């Protein structure tokens, strides 16, 4: 994966900070608005998704403050319904689905496979504008009162509510198109732009998981699109496709909705697993244990994830036959996740572990993925789900996976790749402090919710009986800690852009493929020399020194 040893120059020739990089390549706002550089697009998504996360997080804090007391605290019931709806819509469609693929996938997928850009750069730019359009339409709906249906838009309420559900549905539809475009781009890129010598079995595991994510995005999102469109048409025009009075079946909506929305959670977790595979190898300084197993388990999760949607309908009125089928099929996803967890853990064994901030987030991720995942398997048991459905147990389960899993991995990615993206390191001490705050805050927020759910507190309820009061207070306290942690991260990362220590091309001494470029990368990723791939990614077994960027003569290759 590095140029042959003979062409590696002495390290003094490699600049600590690449002066002519993608950030200052062309100046001016217009150059950013019309860029087709995948790295700039990644940075734009970083800014946009951070804003979305802040907005969704604001709604979350408002929800938790409202739940501080059993009765009304700071808002009316109608407002509360809008709060949890918008929290869900923003967090899922504006942050969780796009964040890791569109930021880190866009930035690093081409670099990792030795390409100069994604397959369709202009389409990539279009995806940013489609995202903005979708966000704008949804925001319009929010400003005009928002929806109160929950992010799941169940009929018949969503088709009969007086709230502004149609703009939010259309906004989500447009955001889905952005997701589809990204998925198409990534699949085509991995198929057609791999550098010579880079076969499928040499791909970084990050690429494998992003590829699997893209497959789900392409296959599942259109079904969500048509479903939301049907609800909008029924709400706006009264066509009655789900209306029982016209012969419609509300359960049909749920089938169609969850056919997307269950694979959607794998769109959210697979990129997280992609990041973790990279982080584990780097910080254990070991080859991935069971490379093929981890690679194929990504495809396995993508595939099996499509067979399980009915576990969201266990208590809705689908047939018991279907419930049984889905209950069994839902168990299989656990197998592929377990394969990954075992392989990551085995990679750590006899590794040389450097406990840095990304590794701290990996530890949090592992703990939360395993426990959140096990509660998922428990929920997939029909008889248990009858008790837990629509309680805080489910809420805690998916927050364990989404916040404890994906967001931990997102923060790991942010810290791991920050030096590469911006050429500067963040302050490690503050990194560890905020990681601890976030992990503790997370536990304090969501473990009480498991207990609440098991005790029977329903989700999406504005008021609750007094016996649930103490645990709700605990949960709100934890969420404040979480918010603090995120705030600290934002501050020190922004400060590090100007005042952080210069990173150099490979501060982690990683043998991941992306570390061969300069920090920050030049506009064309590699300079004049195309990288040549000899070894596996994260190959710490061969004795040659770690990869350094080496501008030298073009190395002839064999196709």
Partner 1 sequence: MRAEARVAAEAHLAHHFPNLEQQAHAARLGMWLFLATEILLFGGLFVAYGVYRFLYADTFKAASTLIETHWGALNTVVLISSSLTVALAHHEAEHGSMKKAGLLLLVSVAAGAVFLGVKSIEYGHHFHEGHLPGRFYTYAGLQAPGASMFWTLYFLMTGLHGLHVIIGMGVLGLFGVLCLRGKFNEGYSTPVELGGLYWHLVDLIWIFLFPLFYLI
Partner 2 sequence: MAMAHVPSAEEERASRRIPTSRYYIVWIALLALTAITILVARMHLGHGFGLVVALLIAITKGSLVALFFMHLWDHGGANRLVLVTSLFFLCLLLGITLLDNASRFPLTNPPNTETLRWSPPGPDILSPGVGAHGTSSRHEPPREHAPQEQQ
- Choosing among partner 2, partner 1, none, which partner's interface includes residue 318 (Cβ < 5 to 8 Å by kind)? partner 2
CA distance 302 to 323: 21
CA distance 537 to 529: 19
What's the alpha-carbon Rg for the chain, to the nearest Å? 24
Beta pairing partners, 538: none
Residue 547 C-beta: closest distance to partner 2, Å:
21
Instruction: Tell me: does residue 156 bind partner 1 (CB under 8 A).
Output: no
Q: Which of residues 184-213 bind partner 2 (CB under 8 A)?
A: 191, 196
Q: Which stretch binds partner 2 (CB under 8 A): 156-164, 245-253, 270-278, 438-446?
A: 245-253
Which stretches within 90-204 are classed as H helix? Answer: 99-100, 106-112, 121-143, 157-160, 165-192
Instruction: Tell me: does residue 247 bind partner 2 (CB under 8 A).
Output: yes
Q: Which of residues 62-81 bind partner 2 (CB under 8 A)?
A: none
Residue 214 C-beta: closest distance to partner 2, Å:
12
With contact defined as beta carbons under 8 Å apart, do 270 and 213 qualify?
Answer: yes
Which stretches within 423-542 are classed as H helix? Answer: 428-455, 469-499
CA distance 559 to 555: 12
- Choosing among partner 2, partner 1, none, which partner's interface includes residue 469 (Cβ < 5 to 8 Å by kind)? none
Q: Specify the 3-state DSSP secondary structure of 502.
A: strand
Residue 251 C-beta: closest distance to partner 1, Å:
9
Instruction: Tell me: does residue 239 bind partner 1 (CB under 8 A).
Output: yes
Instruction: Tell me: does residue 193 bind partner 1 (CB under 8 A).
Output: yes
**Which of 16, 252, 447, 529 is in the footprint of partner 1 by CB under 8 A?**
252
End-to-end CA distance of the chain: 15
Q: Which of residues 116-145 bind partner 1 (CB under 8 A)?
A: 116-117, 119-121, 123
CA distance 333 to 177: 27
Instruction: Tell me: does residue 58 bind partner 2 (CB under 8 A).
Output: no
Instruction: Tell me: does residue 170 bind partner 1 (CB under 8 A).
Output: no
203 secondary structure, DSSP code: S
Q: Which of residues 23-42 bind partner 1 (CB under 8 A)?
A: none
Cis peptide bond prior to 520, omega within 30° of 0: yes
Q: Which of residues 256-295 bind partner 2 (CB under 8 A)?
A: 256, 259
**Which of 51, 54, 219, 363 is in the footprint of partner 2 by CB under 8 A?**
219
Tokens of 371: 């426990």
Q: Specify the 3-state DSSP secondary structure of 425.
A: coil
Report the alpha-carbon angle 295-409-437, nearest 5: 155
**Which of 249, 293, 432, 481 is in the footprint of partner 2 by CB under 8 A?**
249
Residue 322 C-beta: closest distance to partner 1, Å:
13
With contact defined as beta carbons under 8 Å apart, do 42 and 103 qualify?
Answer: yes
With contact defined as beta carbons under 8 Å apart, do 101 and 134 qualify?
Answer: no
- Choosing among partner 1, partner 2, none, which partner's interface includes residue 419 (Cβ < 5 to 8 Å by kind)? none
Cβ count near 327 (within 10 Å): 18
Instruction: Tell me: does residue 385 bind partner 1 (CB under 8 A).
Output: no
The smaller minimum CB distance to partner 2, of residues 546 and 552, is found at 552
Instruction: Tell me: does residue 185 bind partner 1 (CB under 8 A).
Output: yes
Tokens of 273: 């697993």
Contact footprint for partner 2 (CB under 8 A): 191, 196, 215, 219, 223, 244, 247-249, 251-252, 255-256, 259, 306-307, 310, 317-322, 325-326, 528, 530, 557, 559
Contact footprint for partner 1 (CB under 8 A): 110, 115-117, 119-121, 123, 180, 183-185, 187-189, 191-193, 218-223, 225-227, 230, 233-234, 237-241, 243, 246-249, 252, 255-256, 524
């Amino acid at each position: 994966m590095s140029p042959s040893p003979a062409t590696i120059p002495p390290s003094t020739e490699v600049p600590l900070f690449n002066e002519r990089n993608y950030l200052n390549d062309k100046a001016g706002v217009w150059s950013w608005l019309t860029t087709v550089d995948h790295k700039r697009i990644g940075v734009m998504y970083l800014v946009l998704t951070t804003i979305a996360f802040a907005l969704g997080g604001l709604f979350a804090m408002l929800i938790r403050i409202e739940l501080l007391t059993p009765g009304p605290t700071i808002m009316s019931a109608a407002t509360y319904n809008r709060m949890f709806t918008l929290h869900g819509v923003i967090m899922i469609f504006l942050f969780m689905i796009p964040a890791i693929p569109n930021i880190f996938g866009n930035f690093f997928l081409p670099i990792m496979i030795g390409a100069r850009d994604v397959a369709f750069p202009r389409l990539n730019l279009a995806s940013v504008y489609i995202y903005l359009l979708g966000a704008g339409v949804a925001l319009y709906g929010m400003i005009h009162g928002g929806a109160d249906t929950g992010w799941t838009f169940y009929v018949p309420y969503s088709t009969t509510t007086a709230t502004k559900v149609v703009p939010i549905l259309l906004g989500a539809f447009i955001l889905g198109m952005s997701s589809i475009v990204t998925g198409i781009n990534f699949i085509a890129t991995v198929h057609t732009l791999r550098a010579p010598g880079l076969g499928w079995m040499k791909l970084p595991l990050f690429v494998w998981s992003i590829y699997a994510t893209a497959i789900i995005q392409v296959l599942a999102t259109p079904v969500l699109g048509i479903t939301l469109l049907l609800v909008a048409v029924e709400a706006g025009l009264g066509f009655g496709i789900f209306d029982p009075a016209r012969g419609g079946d509300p359960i049909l909506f749920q089938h169609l909705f969850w056919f997307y929305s269950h694979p959607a959670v794998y769109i959210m977790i697979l990129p997280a697993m992609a990041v973790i595979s990279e982080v584990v190898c780097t910080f254990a300084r070991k080859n991935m244990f069971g490379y093929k197993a981890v690679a194929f388990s990504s495809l396995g999760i993508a595939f099996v994830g499509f067979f399980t949607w009915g576990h969201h309908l266990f208590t809705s009125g689908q047939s018991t036959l279907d419930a049984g089928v889905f209950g069994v099929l839902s168990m299989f996803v656990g197998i592929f996740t377990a394969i990954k967890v075992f392989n990551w853990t085995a990679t750590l064994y006899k590794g040389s572990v450097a406990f840095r901030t990304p590794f701290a987030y990996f530890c949090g991720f592992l703990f939360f993925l395993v426990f959140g995942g096990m509660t998922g398997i428990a929920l997939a048991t029909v008889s248990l789900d009858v008790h837990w459905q629509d309680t805080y147990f489910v809420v805690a389960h998916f927050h364990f996976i989404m916040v404890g899993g994906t967001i931990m991995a997102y923060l790991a990615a942010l810290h791991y790749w920050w030096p590469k993206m911006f050429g500067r390191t963040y302050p490690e001490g503050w990194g560890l402090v905020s990681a601890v705050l976030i992990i503790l805050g997370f536990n304090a927020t969501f473990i009480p919710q498991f207990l609440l759910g098991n005790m029977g507190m329903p989700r999406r309820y504005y008021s609750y009986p007094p016996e649930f009061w103490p645990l709700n207070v605990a949960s709100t306290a934890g969420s404040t800690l979480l918010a603090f942690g995120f705030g600290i991260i934002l501050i020190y990362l922004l400060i590090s852009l100007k005042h952080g220590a210069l990173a150099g091309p490979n501060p982690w001494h990683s043998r991941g493929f992306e570390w061969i470029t300069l920090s920050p990368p030049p506009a064309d990723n590699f300079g004049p020399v195309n990288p040549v791939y000899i070894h596996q990614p994260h190959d710490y077994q061969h004795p040659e020194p770690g990869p350094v960027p080496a501008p030298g003569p073009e190395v002839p290759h064999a196709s």
